A and B are shown apart, each in its own frame.
Chain A
Amino acid sequence: MKPQYTIAVTGLNNTDNPGPGVPVIRALREAKEFDVRIIGLAYENLEPGIYMENTADKVYQIPYPSSGSDELMQRIEYINSKEDIDVLIPNFDAELYTFMLSEKKLKEMGIKTFLPTIKQFEERHKSELPKYGQKYGLDIPFSKTISNLSDIDHIQHEFEYPVLVKGKFYDAYLAYNSSQVTEFFNKISVKWGVPVIIQQFIRGTEVNVIALGDGNGNTIGAVPMRKQYITDKGKAWGGITLGDENLIKITNDLINKTKWRGGMELEIIKTHTDKYYIIEINPRIPAWVYLAVGAGQNIPEALVKLALGEKPEAFKSYDIGKMFIRYSYDLIGDIAQFEKLSVTGEL
């Protein structure tokens, strides 16, 4: 008989800017070696994953990490007293830091996680990427951070236009001259604060890799993908698995050198001369994770095993040419569900 684990998952926002929660749950429900009871953790009461069938067995609202980690941990403690959670999988960039800091506290409650270390998380920030590239011998586009408008003049001679103007968490714009840089700097800094990153623009095709590192330098799983259909928010609405062995080599090399622990997504530009530049490292499972499952690598299942202290065997292959096509679908809910979640914080 298979063991059953209670797994708490965030990121139920299956919207046009989707969180990875729903595909992670779907993967866990298809796990070969264990059964699951899923506890959905939601920040907003209209996250679609709350209402989707065969997704979460029970949903609890949790406070945003910005309200303070104590408040969030108190809520998790309460949920754990009801549900006895075995593993927690946070899926949002903005909450990862809080959960990483609270790893010990969660462990004391009997909740296991499998997250990057604080050092791994910090050193791959967009603003730190050039240093990261130098340290680990990776090709990263040249970039500089700026905190005010006068900095633009000081660094201008180091770049050729166009350049990418990027927010520290989200948003990226292509600027062809200094007045556009100024315009995008203002736009981004109002939304995401400073610093703003000015990055060399590399022409080529964007490819992505989902991967899982065991924390000892070994890659447990890695699947490369090219977005085939991109929304106006830059999100993949369709994609296809690739057979490019160089992408696997780059991923293995990075995981080996950094001893990466947990899920990750690499965003890479492949140039027309077949050079590969890492443009971003996301420290969590991406929303397209179910493509990897469909291609033969159940990365969330392996992550749960790692969290439980097991040593899952590394995946040896995946299917090339597997595609995902996302779709939107109208769920019919009832005001009583919305009321229950709003009033009691549980559904």
Chain B
Amino acid sequence: MKLKKNIAVSETGFLFDSNTGESFSLNETGRKILQFLKEDKSEDEISEWFAENYEVDQATFENNLYDFFTVLQNFKIIE
């Protein structure tokens, strides 16, 4: 999964798509996931980090992560 180049995410979790003018507010988890995507981290690396730092097992997190990716794809935020 790759963040499209026209997507900007601020430190506050405000996401702006400069191609469409759409903007979204992300919570801390969403912001962190997008930050990792920007750093070209793999899905495994992302879920490992969350499993280590949050009280969640990797399988549950991955389920939620793929749901989140589907939302991001629908909004054409990732490719």
A residues in contact (CB < 8 Å) with B: 205, 207, 225-226, 228, 239-244, 270, 320-321
Contact = CB atoms under 8 A, between A and B. Distances in A.
Contacts of B16: 321
A320 B18 contact: yes
B19 interface: yes
A321 B15 CA distance: 12
Nearest to A227: B21
B70 interface: no
Contacts of A239: 21
B20 A321 contact: no
A129 B43 CA distance: 48
Contacts of A321: 8, 16, 18
B20 A205 contact: yes
Contacts of A242: 18-21
A interface, over-half SS? strand
A241 to B, nearest CB: 8
B interface, over-half SS? loop
A6 B21 CA distance: 38
A242 B19 CA distance: 5
A225 B18 CA distance: 10
B25 interface: no
Contacts of B18: 242-244, 320-321
Q: Which 5 A-B pairs have the closest CB atoms?
A: A243-B18, A226-B21, A240-B21, A244-B19, A320-B18
Contacts of B73: none
Interface in B10-54: 16, 18-21
Contacts of A207: 21
A226 B23 CA distance: 12
Contacts of B8: 321
Nearest to A241: B21
Nearest to B22: A226
A49 B8 CA distance: 38
Nearest to B21: A226
A170 B8 CA distance: 37
8 contacts: A205-B20, A226-B20, A226-B21, A228-B21, A242-B18, A242-B19, A243-B6, A321-B8
Given A241-B21, A243-B18, 7 more contacts: A228-B21, A240-B21, A242-B18, A243-B6, A244-B6, A320-B18, A321-B8
Nearest to B16: A321
A307 B8 CA distance: 39
Contacts of B19: 242-244
Contacts of A228: 21
A173 B8 CA distance: 36
A270 B20 CA distance: 9
A321 B22 CA distance: 10
A320 B20 CA distance: 11
A267 to B, nearest CB: 15
Nearest to B18: A243
Nearest to A320: B18
A239 B20 CA distance: 11
A320 B6 CA distance: 10
Contacts of B6: 243-244
A241 B20 CA distance: 9
A241 B21 CA distance: 7
